[in-house]
């Protein structure tokens, strides 16, 4: 993934003990247990000049008795070389490969065009694979978000639209966004809906930056905290050290109740 500062967005990572927003100011430096959740961090990053453009409607309440958690569960420790499970506060768990970096307990995302994109329970592959791109770069990232009061189709389309709006840049006229038709599927016996956004024509300030990136968005019923959970996998394309599509499929197919 290219350093998104160069296409007019602000990149952030919150993991371990540090929360940073590049291109803006440092948001917080706290102990790990005090790292804000995705919703809190998203609110903190809204630029004051664009506050009016950010929706302020309150999501509908959860049904009576529906479980809810404020934060994602603690990191699950596994032997070295084993797939790494990442449990979420939505009652679902997914695995990342052994050679990925587990930032469970952190928050990652970016902002642009008054859109704030934040994902909890993230994993990363190929961190610093393209150092010429700047401070924050990786080849692939996973993370989760959620929606209340939406069905799977609406939630997936809403997330895909936010991703496109956050990345669109008038100064990058060659950028194109292609959205695949949503596909209903089943993952470990549970309903899911999947769509993919393919972004091409990305500006390249360094030869190691990908000219193409995909975002796989998988919506499935949540078991806690929200009605729908969204697993999002961002993956660089057309670079030799990108994660292959088989790895993306493997991650998606591990999605299961915690």
Tens of pLDDT along 26-48?
A: 222 223 334 445 554 444 444 43
DSSP state of 127: T
Spatial CB neighbours of 88, under 8 Å, sequence gap ≥ 6: 72, 73, 94, 120, 121, 144, 229, 258
pLDDT at 101: 95
Is residue 79 situated within a structural domain?
Answer: yes
Is residue 55 situated within a structural domain?
Answer: no
| 37 alpha-carbon distance from chain centroid | 13
Give me the percent of the chain exceeding a pLDDT of 90.
58
Residue 18: band (very low, low, confident or very high) from pLDDT cuts 50, 70, 90: very low
Give the mean model confidence (pLDDT) for residues 164-191: 93
Q: Which two tokens stand for residue 134?
A: 């700047």
Distance between CA atoms of 124 and 257, rounded to whole angstroms? Answer: 22
Is residue 58 situated within a structural domain?
Answer: no
CA distances from 203 to 138, 156, 241 (A): 16, 26, 19
Give the mean model confidence (pLDDT) for residues 193-205: 93
The whole model's pTM is what? 0.82
How many domains is the chain built from? Answer: 1
Tens of pLDDT along 43-86?
A: 444 443 334 344 557 888 898 999 999 989 999 999 999 999 99
Is residue 61 situated within a structural domain?
Answer: no
Tens of pLDDT along 87-137?
A: 999 999 999 999 999 998 889 988 887 788 999 999 999 998 988 877 668
DSSP H helices, 87-186, are 152-167
pLDDT higher than threshold 70 for residue 193: yes
Residue 128 sits in which domain range?
4-47+67-257
């Amino acid at each position: 993934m290219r350093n998104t500062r160069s296409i007019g967005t602000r990149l952030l990572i919150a993991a371990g003990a540090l929360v940073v927003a590049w291109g803006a100011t440092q948001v917080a430096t706290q102990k790990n247990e005090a790292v804000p959740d995705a919703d809190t961090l998203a609110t903190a990053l809204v630029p004051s000049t664009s506050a009016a453009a950010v929706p302020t409607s309150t999501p509908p309440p959860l049904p009576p008795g529906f479980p809810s958690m404020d934060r994602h569960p603690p990191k699950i420790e596994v032997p070295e070389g084993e797939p790494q499970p990442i449990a979420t506060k939505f009652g679902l768990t997914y695995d990342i490969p052994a050679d990925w970096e587990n930032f469970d307990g952190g928050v990652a995302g970016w902002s642009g065009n008054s859109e704030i994109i934040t994902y909890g329970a993230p994993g990363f592959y190929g961190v610093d694979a393209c150092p010429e791109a700047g401070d924050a770069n990786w080849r692939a990232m996973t993370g989760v978000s959620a929606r209340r009061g939406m069905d799977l189709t609406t939630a997936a389309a809403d997330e895909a639209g936010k991703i496109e709006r956050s990345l669109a840049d008038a100064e990058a006229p060659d950028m194109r966004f292609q959205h695949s038709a949503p596909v209903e599927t089943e993952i470990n016996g549970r309903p899911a809906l999947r769509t993919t956004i393919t972004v091409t024509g990305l500006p390249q300030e360094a030869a190691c930056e990908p000219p193409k990136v995909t975002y796989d968005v998988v919506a499935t019923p949540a078991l806690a905290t929200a009605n729908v959970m969204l697993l999002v996998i961002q993956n660089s394309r057309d670079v030799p050290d990108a994660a292959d599509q088989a790895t993306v499929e493997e991650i998606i197919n591990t999605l299961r109740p915690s």
